[in-house]
Amino acid sequence: MPDDRTGIVVQVVEGPGVLHQLTGVIARHNGDISSVAILENQGPAARVYFEIEKLAHMAALVADLEQLPIVRNVEVVKSLSQIYGKRIIIMGGGAQVGQVAIGAISEADRHNIRGEHISVDTIPLVGEQALADAVRAVARLPRARALVLAGSLMGGEIEAAVREVRAQGLLVISLNMAGSVPEAADLVVTDPVQAGVMAVMAVADTAKFNIARLKTRVF
């Protein structure tokens, strides 16, 4: 699927009301902001990153931004979707996370060679509350499409968090483990390497794999 967004990095003088001034200029050009992040905010300067739906007159927007007294530099860049693409997040026990990552990275490489853009992020975590907080945070991560929970026992608050992020449209794959998390996930896979492979296949535009068409949910 083509990405119709453009990224711009604006270096500004740090202070109150910076975002208000920048977004005001973008709005006057009918720019639809799909993402915004403050990349650096230390000392007298800051860098703000926007992703904007492509405009017919991007040069005019850049020129007007550069006219603001607070702006030091404006750079047009490729969007993060064009570079890093969809994100697979893997979390849980270190050994299991590593095995899932092997499958996910190998499969992502196969699709990325064919023009896809899929990146894989991992975080080894232990503890019910720490994992529940991390699961909920995935829904706030830019471009996150799938979460793989890799461990030997997960339930309680983690299950509640899984149900919440699934309701927000995030795909959740769980290893076949003890606890109630497998009951809450979209897909349960026993082999961690296969779980990583299936997570990538589920989000890749270059794959024909569709979880919704599976007759069984546990493998």
Burial track 145-169 (b if 16+ CB lie within 10 A, e otherwise): bbbbbbbeebbeebbebbeebbeee
pLDDT of residue 213: 67
Query: How much is the average pLDDT of 77-85?
Result: 85
pLDDT of residue 1: 45
pLDDT of residue 57: 84
Lowest mean pLDDT among 141-145, 155-159, 187-191, 214-218: 214-218
Q: Which run of H or of E encompasses 147?
A: strand 144-150
Measure the CA dihedral 146/147/150/156, to 10°. Answer: -140
- Strands 144-150, 86-92: pairing is parallel
Alpha-helical segments (H) within the chain: 18-28, 58-66, 80-83, 94-113, 128-138, 157-167, 181-184, 192-203
What SS3 state is found at 189?
A: strand
Asked if residue 142 has pLDDT above 60, the reply is yes
pLDDT of residue 42: 66
Closest among 36, 37, 34, 38 to 53, alpha carbons compared: 34
In contact, 198 and 189? CB cutoff 8 Å:
yes
Question: Sorting pLDDT into bands at 50, 70 and 90, what band is 103?
Answer: very high
Residue 192 identity (one-letter amino acid): P
Mean pLDDT estimate for the chain: 88
In angstroms, rounded to a whole number, what is the distance separating the alpha carbons of residues 64 and 30? 13
Asked if residue 214 has pLDDT above 80, the reply is no
For the chain, give the percent of residues with pLDDT over 90: 54
Structural domains present in the chain: 5-82 (3.30.70.260), 84-213 (3.40.50.10550)
Beta bridge partners of 13: 45
What SS3 state is found at 62?
A: helix
Query: How much is the average pLDDT of 191-202?
Result: 92
In contact, 93 and 152? CB cutoff 8 Å:
yes
Q: What is the pLDDT of residues 158-196, one digit of tens each?
A: 999 999 999 999 999 999 999 999 999 999 999 999 999
Q: What is the pLDDT of residues 25-75, one digit of tens each?
A: 999 998 889 888 888 766 677 889 999 987 778 889 999 999 999 999 999
Residue 10: DSSP 8-state: E
In angstroms, rounded to a whole number, what is the distance separating the alpha carbons of residues 167 and 169? 5
In angstroms, rounded to a whole number, what is the distance separating the alpha carbons of residues 131 and 133? 5
In angstroms, rounded to a whole number, what is the distance separating the alpha carbons of residues 95 and 72? 47
Residue 211: DSSP 8-state: G
Asked if residue 3 has pLDDT above 70, the reply is no
pLDDT of residue 24: 92
